[in-house]
Amino acid sequence: MGAATLALDGQVALVTGGARRVGAEIVRHLHAAGASVAIHCHRSLGEAEALAAELDARRAGSALVCTADLLQSGSFRPLVGSVVARLGGLAILVNNASTFYPTPLASLTATQWTDLIGTNLTAPLFLAQAAADELRRARGLIVNIADIHGLRPLPRYLAYSTAKAALIHLTRGLARELAPQVRVNAVAPGPVMWPEDALDAAQQQEIVGRTLLQRAGTPADVARAVCFFAADAPYVTGQVLSVDGGRSQRW
């Protein structure tokens, strides 16, 4: 008997910010489901190359690394074009790349606003525009990685929360713009991975204590939600799935 067919066999996925943390887990899950994966990075080239080598060792020629600064307006079409040229198409776009840091109103600068809006909103919009024709041909999918704080703002993270709220609105708007050929959904994680400028143990426990499940999630929880949209939800579009252990039910 031949090998079993995987759910995403023959599909090509581009994951922005795919070299590390949640992005890398999304890449691994999509690859395990059969997709060829383009791992976008900006500065994490070594980690991206190591991840691509890991995946290519499992299935030769199934992973590549693409570098681009998503704050540069000229980067979007070349990035998509490189993926299509090297992997033969594009069926799944995961807008995962994100900048995250506090911006209290009193100290918020125009530079910070441009950075946070740029990575969390502008890049997903114009990558969707650049990829639209390929995604239509593939009858494909966009998954935007939002945040539960796009539904309710996180204190002291005004610009970030605003950007993620707009990303949720963009998700619903793109679902209308790209229908019927392309589905567009979002995943809104809660506490699944602590920031690298880590909160102390007491702050982490206070956040976990506000979830219904009384525990933090993992990057794999987000990756499984992305794979659900990619492989198991062909009649779902314009939706936002909170992966937060019930955190958004206990504001």
Neighbours of 214 (CB within 10 A): 10
Give the Cα separation of 82 and 78 in Å (integer): 6
Catalytic residues: 160
Phi, psi of 163 (to 5 degrees): -60, -40
Within 13 Å, how many C-alpha atoms sit on residue 17's CB side? 18
Q: Where are the alpha helices (DSSP H) in the chain?
A: 21-32, 45-58, 76-87, 110-117, 123-138, 158-178, 201-208, 219-231
Which one-letter DSSP state was computed for residue 149?
G
